[in-house]
Structure 1
Amino acid sequence: MLFLTRNRLIVKKGVGFKQIDKEWDWDNFILLQAIVAALVLYIFPTSESSLPLWNRNGVTAAVVLHIAISEPLYYIIHKCFHGNYYLFSHYHSLHHSSDVPQPYTAGHGTFFEHLFLTVVVGVPIICSSVIGHGSLSLVYGYVLIFDFLRCLGHSNVEIIPHRIFDVIPFLKYIVYTPTYHSLHHTEMSTNYCLFMPLFDALGNTLNKKSWEMHKKNSLDAGKNGRVPDFVFLAHVVDMSSAMHAPFVNRSMASVPYYTRIYMLPLLPVSFIVMLVMWAKSKTFLISFYNLRGRLHQTWAVPRFGFQYFLPFAADGINNCIEEAILRANRLGVQVISLAALNKNEALNGGGTLFVNKHPNLKVRVVHGNTLTAAVILNEIPEDATEVFLSGATSKLGRAIALYLCRKRVQVLMLTSSVERFRNIQKEAPGDCRKYLVQVTKYQAAQNCKTWIVGKWITPREQKFAPSGSHFHQFVVPPILQFRRDCTYGDLAAMKLPQDVQGLGSCEYTMERGVVHACHAGGVVHFLEGWSHHEVGAIDVDRIDLVWEAALKHGLKPVSSTIR
């Protein structure tokens, strides 16, 4: 949970898709240990009912056997893995191939390595049982403690306070820390121990920086870490997609979101978390990545999509967004980009509320819709002479209509408001106003094959589009793909540059490395170093400028219809 651990990270890098895929089968060791346990029970028949729940002598024997056999055995074999090139390259290099240690990394290894670990785990349990001191508590307790300590060492989060070693100095030789084990992954010729640094001290393989670095990491936990250069302020969509977060299920978050049946039983838990988040009302960090050496973070407002449409919730939501902007301003963030409903026109005027209220903001507030408009407009064929536009008087609809009319493309603007239509028409150059046509019914587009959908339309309304039409869209959620004789565009999105690092989660339904156009718009705003706020109405004159800047920085459109 980055919003809790960001100041305690040891290796301050994000976990990328490559590492996640590599560690996908991290749980193989669990299956192996279960198979070995079944074989042992088959060879030496016994029953759980024959074992007592607790046996103090057995626990004592297991501790002694662990220290006397398991720890030194692991130390010697582990050192051999590193000392012999053949053993390391064939059986241990896989474990060290992960850039950032994670609890999953503890289970990431070759079959031979897991088999060796199974022996190390089994020695105290089997020997204690053979001498008549076995118990259920010993069997399950030892395995759970063993796995917990392995995951702790690979967690990349320093949670053990250094003061405990100041009070009890010898304790640092009894229990290792995440910092201690992380040093083994960066300087592999040191810190070979299983859990007890005592054996590294006896074998003269103790890294001399271990305690100094541990103290530094422990003390730094109370300080703010590296300040992000860019922040994307997202929000939760619904209770199901709320579980599509790296700290809930890393592998699930690394692929595009879709409703998973096996996660449905957890919806009551998600509902309770929603209530707690609503009461707590604090933004939290959910992911980060690096681009061009700059730190980009995604913060989330603790509000679910439906809450944005509750009239009594508007003030609370705006207060939460404002708090996030002010926090970013205090930290020294350069750009904060508002996602989806966080920049809703009816809620805060596309961000103008915050800029007007705080005129001296150093952080630049960006809604990113200029790039969203650019992506949609570049999907439209160059030979198009007429388009049908729903959601025509919205922020995006207005910009698209004004841009197209300048290109001498006739825009059928679906709106029942004569006043709004005329206000937009007045913004167009005098010789282009005739290309903006107000329509009030979908039937008006029966002969138009280019539909730009900014307002959700039903399958019945889609029937008015002629065969062979293409539906471009900037509506959330996307419209149903009802017509088989028509084609449907994707939501406006762009693929981040190839040199992005540490990105390991998908943005809602987007593919890996792809973000919504408004997110990409904020990234471009930051990379270009623009000093203005991008809030409120879209500046039509900047659409081409922003598009060219995005392409210049290596962002790529993902829609198959981009010309």
Structure 2
Amino acid sequence: MGTEQYLLYGPLLAEFVSSKIWEVNSGQSLSKHILAICVLRVLVYQLWSSYTNMLFLTRNRRVSQDGIDFKQIDSEWDWDNFIILQALVASMVYLIFPSLANLPLWDLKGIFYCLVFHMGLSEPLYYCLHRLLHTSYLFSHYHWLHHGSKVTNPFTAGHATFLEQLILCVIIGIPIIGTTLIGYGSIGMLYTHVLVFDFFRCLGHSNIEIIPHRLFDNFPLLRYVIFTPTYHSIHHTDMGTNFCLFMPLYDALGKTINNFSWDIHRDISSNAGKKGRAPHFVFLAHVVDVMSALHSPFVFRSFNSTPFMIRPFLIAMWPGTFLVMLAMWAKSKTFSFSFYNLRGNLYETWVVPRFGFQYFLPFATEGINKHIEEAILRADRLGVKVISLAALNKNEALNGGGTLFVNKHPNLKVRVVHGNTLTAAVILNEIPQDAKEVFLSGATSKLGRAITLYLARRKVRVLMLTQSTERFRTIQKEAPEDCRQFLVQVTKCQAAKHCKTWIMGKWATPREQSWAPPGTHFHQFVVPPMIQFRRDCTYGKLAAMRLPDDVEGLGSCEYTMERGVVHACHAGGVVHFLEGWSHNEVGAIDVQRIDMVWEAALRHGFRPL
């Protein structure tokens, strides 16, 4: 049903609103509690999902080191269907037994009896039914869907077929109905049981081990009372063991405990405080603005798995995000953001906690460079092979395209790469081979210079927009003598009013864009991208490449890029690592290497868009 599925909450909402407006059953309605519980349940799952995706906190506690890919995210997209189903079941029970609305607010005895019903009825019933679902027919027709998720996460808990969700309704409902029938039901018991039930389901599916092994060493019997994320994860790899809901006691009675459960749990728990697996490659990114900060994997997984765009719910979250930004500005560290695997190597994205506009504040330069330097030194200590600088982190005015750090630390083992050689190659290969003339703004920048010199060698006339005659002549002298005639300095956009190929390295206002003839294509390497004012022209996106098909565990979109696509500087760093090049790619772009880097990228499976 898509988003229309949430209309199923309509009758509950209508009943609650009518009870308030017309005072029908005022104070006697359970609808508000059912709706409130649904909201709180979603919040429990979301908070658990956010925590599990905070790689900077959980990387050494992960049970499975694999990442969650787009395929799994899509298959689990409607993970909250079971919450809607249980809300409808609860509302039908309420219609049949309206006296439930007269339950007291709280009864401590009810909590005790609810726990007894859960341990004595729900747990063994779930164990038996779960084992039954693993029989050949039921597994192939129903239970396979839940096990189709490669890596467990909180949303995996809700990813199941309709039959399984009906069974879960019975399992979660038995303690509530039983406690109510013996006269100890209460509203507080209803909230407590449902939310604690969800909490432990999220815990088991979290893939993050948070229960210390010392707890079981000191109190051995506890291992049969409460399961761990490790214990449940084993069930997804060895499906003939560890069937329990929350209590391994029933696996012990049924002789279905995996004998290595506690040893594996001890190993993972012991590694929590130790140095984890170091990535082979790091892409050092930064936040663009307040809105884009909400595109992080630990905010909303579904939002992060699609290209970034402004959506209404972001506006409501802006004030809180702004406060977090201020806290990050005051005191913060570079943190791990996301990861993927490629040919047995681990690739991570680290984020410098600075926003785009801060890079243009003169007094912020020193602090930003300090963060970048700390990230490079940290990568060097961890044994990272290549660290690639994103966008503004390699700004020429900020640190000379990375030369500042290489000169300051000449003994670095990690290779520092700005990736702009591949960025230049991507832009150049987008330009039609039969083009005879192009207009280039930002012509004296690092990228602009490389593009200019390359095109001049191809005998393409380049209209270089620059006010500095000195900088123009410096670049012109770098070109071969027989190619210098193709470089032409212009000081206004009007000079390109007959040219249909514009390469933009600087922002262009609507007036400046208006000088382009109809049908012009704007190639661009300006951050952030230009606003598309002209409807009779086309606009290229920032230089990017599609990752090789054998990438695993990738479930995040890189800012506005589509799935599986990364900025060219990111791809350039990956190519640098895969080729095993030993030089630092910083400072000015070596024009002689542009074709070589492009061919290497294609050879490794990268594809132009």
Q: Please, what TM-score do these two structures have when normalized by structure 1?
A: 0.98
Choose which of 359, 370, 376 in structure 2 pairs with 1:308.
Answer: 359
The residue that corresponds to 2:91 in the other structure is 38
Give the superposition deviation at 1:272. 1.7
Give the superposition deviation at 1:278. 1.9
Cα distance change of structure 1 residues 27 and 161 upon mapping to structure 2, 3 Å threshold: same
Counterparts of residues 212-361 of structure 1 (less than 5 Å): 212-361=263-412
What do residues 16-62 of structure 1 show as CA deviations (whole Å, max 9, x unaligned)?
A: 000000100110110011000000000001354x2222212211111
The residue that corresponds to 1:93 in the other structure is 144
Matched, 1:26 2:79: yes
Partner SS state of residue 94, structure 1? helix
Give the helix-richer structure, 1 or 2. Answer: 2
Matched, 1:12 2:54: no
After the TM superposition, which of the residue ranges 429-438 and 510-519 deviates more from structure 2?
429-438
Choose which of 112, 115, 118 in structure 2 pairs with 1:60.
Answer: 112
Partner SS state of residue 112, structure 2? helix
After the TM superposition, which of the residue ranges 311-320 and 220-229 deviates more from structure 2?
220-229
The residue that corresponds to 2:181 in the other structure is 130
Give the superposition deviation at 1:501. 0.3
Choose which of 236, 250, 256 in structure 2 pairs with 1:205.
Answer: 256
CA distance in 2, matches of 1:9, 1:105: 16
What do residues 175-232 of structure 1 show as CA deviations (whole Å, max 9, x unaligned)?
A: 1000000010000000000000000001100111111111111001111221111000
CA distance in 2, matches of 1:266, 1:348: 33
Runs (5+) with no aligned partner, structure 1? 559-563
Residue type matched to 1:368 in 2?
G
CA distance in 1, matches of 2:500, 2:291: 36
CA distance in 2, matches of 1:272, 1:468: 44
Give the superposition deviation at 1:269. 1.4
CA distance in 2, matches of 1:190, 1:449: 66
Choose which of 500, 505, 509 in structure 1 pairs with 2:551.
Answer: 500
Counterparts of residues 372-391 of structure 1 (less than 5 Å): 372-391=423-442
Counterparts of residues 114-193 of structure 1 (less than 5 Å): 114-193=165-244
What do residues 465-492 of structure 1 show as CA deviations (whole Å, max 9, x unaligned)?
A: 1222221111122222222222222210
Partner SS state of residue 545, structure 2? strand
Residue type matched to 1:444 in 2?
A
The residue that corresponds to 2:42 in the other structure is none
Choose which of 406, 425, 428 in structure 1 pairs with 2:457.
Answer: 406
Matched, 1:455 2:540: no
Residue type matched to 1:4 in 2?
L
Partner SS state of residue 99, structure 2? coil
RMSD of aligned C-alpha atoms? Answer: 0.9
Partner SS state of residue 397, structure 1? helix
Residue type matched to 1:511 in 2?
E
CA distance in 1, matches of 2:225, 2:132: 22
CA distance in 2, matches of 1:421, 1:512: 39
Give the superposition deviation at 1:382. 1.1
Give the superposition deviation at 1:281. 2.3
The residue that corresponds to 2:123 in the other structure is 71
| Structure 1 residue runs of 4 or more that deviate by more than 6 Å after TM superposition | none
Runs (5+) with no aligned partner, structure 2? 1-53
Matched, 1:481 2:548: no
CA distance in 2, matches of 1:279, 1:221: 28
What do residues 228-249 of structure 1 show as CA deviations (whole Å, max 9, x unaligned)?
A: 1100000011111101011100
The residue that corresponds to 2:37 in the other structure is none
Residue type matched to 2:108 in 1?
R
CA distance in 1, matches of 2:388, 2:326: 26
Partner SS state of residue 303, structure 1? strand
The residue that corresponds to 2:27 in the other structure is none
Give the superposition deviation at 1:70. 0.3
Q: Please, what TM-score do these two structures have when normalized by structure 2?
A: 0.90
After the TM superposition, which of the residue ranges 337-346 and 271-280 deviates more from structure 2?
271-280
CA distance in 2, matches of 1:268, 1:450: 41
The residue that corresponds to 1:103 in the other structure is 154
Choose which of 414, 418, 427 in structure 2 pairs with 1:363.
Answer: 414
Matched, 1:553 2:592: no
CA distance in 2, matches of 1:7, 1:276: 25
Amino-acid identity (%): 71
Matched, 1:427 2:475: no
CA distance in 1, matches of 2:454, 2:99: 79
